[in-house]
Chains A and B, each alone.
Chain A
Amino acid sequence: ETGVTQTPRHLVMGMTNKKSLKCEQHLGHNAMYWYKQSAKKPLELMFVYNFKEQTENNSVPSRFSPECPNSSHLFLHLHTLQPEDSALYLCASSQEPHSGANVLTFGAGSRLTVL
């Protein structure tokens, strides 16, 4: 248990479905992140939120819609996804996003399969 909890751990959805991934951190951190990891590829940064404000969108398609209602919760809303969006989606949080000594704590990830 890292203090960053992701649900669900596994999700299977059709291309016309709408689903959401949830991330909750119990560490009192100020920044939260979504990363995507496709098979045999490095982690790709998707979004960054600092103090609930989005500060980074790494050219992510609009079918992925993030939401950060407060510093402890982060959602990734999914709609009309493609099979190539199947991946491990990882959430992370950190205390001092502006600091050079910024340490990210990751959740266990949500494994998404799009049929």
Chain B
Amino acid sequence: DAKTTQPPSMDCAEGRAANLPCNHSTISGNEYVYWYRQIHSQGPQYIIHGLKNNETNEMASLIITEDRKSSTLILPHATLRDTAVYYCIVRVASDTGKLIFGQGTTLQVKP
């Protein structure tokens, strides 16, 4: 599975959009991009995933560049409860279904 690079930390003002970048320059054509988040001492929570097209759900939007080498997770109106570690993961369909987590980005939403 391709590796991802994320900034270790970011700040965002409450009520503003939070844009979290992820670089996956070695991604293959059949690898999906996933985003999860982990609020302190809880289990990770699925946010969104995509293959080629931009995706939006009730939690966030995922923007994938045309060459698929990077993506951005957008939280449109960040709240204090969005403070968490955000993980960007790429994986290909496999026999085991495993997800490999990296260090992620710690997002601090400030009042």
Whether, in the assembled complex, A81 has its beta carbon less than 8 Å from a beta carbon of chain B, the answer is: no
Do residues B49 and A101 form an inter-chain contact, with CB atoms below 8 A? yes
Q: A90-B44, A103-B46, A106-B45 are in contact. Are A50 and B95 (CB under 8 A)?
A: yes
CA distance A56 to B31 in the complex (A): 20
Main secondary structure of the interface of B (DSSP, over half): loop
How far apart are the CA atoms of A33 and B99 in the complex, in Å? 10
The segment out of B11-19, B69-77, B86-94 that lies at the interface is B86-94
Name the distance in Å between B64's Cβ and chain A's nearest Cβ. Answer: 14
Q: Does A92 contact B (CB under 8 A)?
A: yes
Residues of A within 8 A of B34 (CB): 103
Instruction: Tell me whether B91 and A42 are in contact (CB under 8 A).
Output: no
Cβ-defined partner of A48 (8 Å) among B41, B45, B92, B96: B96
- Report the separation of the CA atoms of residues A102 and B97 in the bound assembly, to the nearest whole angstrom: 7
Q: Give the CA-CA distance A88 to B46 in the complex, in Å.
A: 18
Task: Tell me the B residues contacting A by CB distance below 8 Å.
Answer: 30-32, 34, 36, 41-46, 49, 51, 91-104
